[in-house]
Amino acid sequence: MRVPISIKLIIYFLLISISSIFIVGKFSFYKAKEALIERTFDQLISLRVEKEKRLQSFFDQCSNDITNITSLNDVKIILNNIKKCDIDSFGSSKIMSKYILGYLQANNKFNKIIFIDTSSAFFGYDVKNSDNQCFDTLLYFDFNEEIIVSEDVKIIESVASTGEFFINIGKVIKNDDSVLLGVVILEISYDPIDDIMFEDNIHNGLGKSGEVYLVGTDFLMRSSSRFISNSKFITLVKTIGVKNSINNNPGKNIIDDYRGIKVFSSYKKLEIGGLDWIILSEIDEYEAMQLIKSVENNIIYLSIIISLLLMGIVAAISSNITSPIRKLQAETEKIYRGEYGQIINLEYNNEIGDLINAFNRMSVQLKEQAERLEYEQVIRTTYVIDGQEAERQRLSRELHDGLAQYILAIKLKLEHALSVGGEKQKMLIEQTKDLFTETIKEIRNISNNLMPSVLSKYGIIKAVENLSASVNSDSKLNFTFESDFLNNFLNQKMQIYIYRIIQEALNNTLKHAQANNFYVSFVEKENELFILIKDDGKGFDVSQKSVKSGNGLVNIRERVNLLSGKILIETALNEGFCLKISIPV
- 74-109 per-position pLDDT tens digit: 888 888 877 765 544 334 455 567 778 778 877 778
CB neighbour list of residue 519: distance below 8 Å, 6 or more residues apart: 479, 480, 481, 482, 532, 533, 534, 535
pTM above 0.75, yes or no: no
The confidence score (pLDDT) of residue 138 equals 40
User: Structurally, what CATH architecture does the domain formed by 452-584 represent?
Assistant: 2-Layer Sandwich (3.30)
Edge-to-edge strand list for the sheet holding 528-535: 478-483, 517-525, 528-535, 577-584, 566-571
Q: Is the backbone of residue 209 left (phi > 0), alpha (psi -120 to 50) or beta?
A: alpha
Give the span between the Cα atoms of 153 and 274, in whole angstroms: 10
Give the CATH class of 72-189.
alpha beta
**Residues in a beta bridge with 170:** 154, 185
Which is nearest to 215 in space by CA: 155, 159, 270, 160?
270
CA distances from 265 to 237, 255, 262, 294, 478 (A): 13, 7, 9, 23, 61
Give the span between the Cα atoms of 82 and 100, in whole angstroms: 16
Give the span between the Cα atoms of 188 and 107, in whole angstroms: 11
Which is nearest to 22 in space by CA: 314, 298, 294, 289?
298
Three-state DSSP state, 265: strand
pLDDT tens-digit series, residues 419-459: 787 777 778 777 778 777 777 776 766 666 666 667 777 78
Give the span between the Cα atoms of 293 and 287, in whole angstroms: 10
Q: How far apart are the first and last CA of the chain?
A: 61
CA distances from 581 to 94, 517, 520, 523, 577 (A): 83, 19, 11, 11, 13
Buried b (16+ CB within 10 A) or exposed e, 281-296: bbbbbebbbeebeeeb
Give the span between the Cα atoms of 509 and 553, in whole angstroms: 12
CB neighbour list of residue 473: distance below 8 Å, 6 or more residues apart: none
Question: If you average pLDDT over residues 149-157, what whole number do you get?
Answer: 73
Superfamily of domain covering 33-54+193-288: PAS domain (3.30.450.20)
pLDDT tens-digit series, residues 474-501: 888 999 999 987 766 688 888 888 888 9
Check pLDDT > 50 for residue 347.
yes
pLDDT tens-digit series, residues 381-404: 555 555 556 566 666 666 666 667
The confidence score (pLDDT) of residue 92 equals 47
Q: Helix, strand, coil proportions of the chain in percent (round to 5)?
A: 55, 20, 25
Across the chain, what does the average pLDDT equal? 78
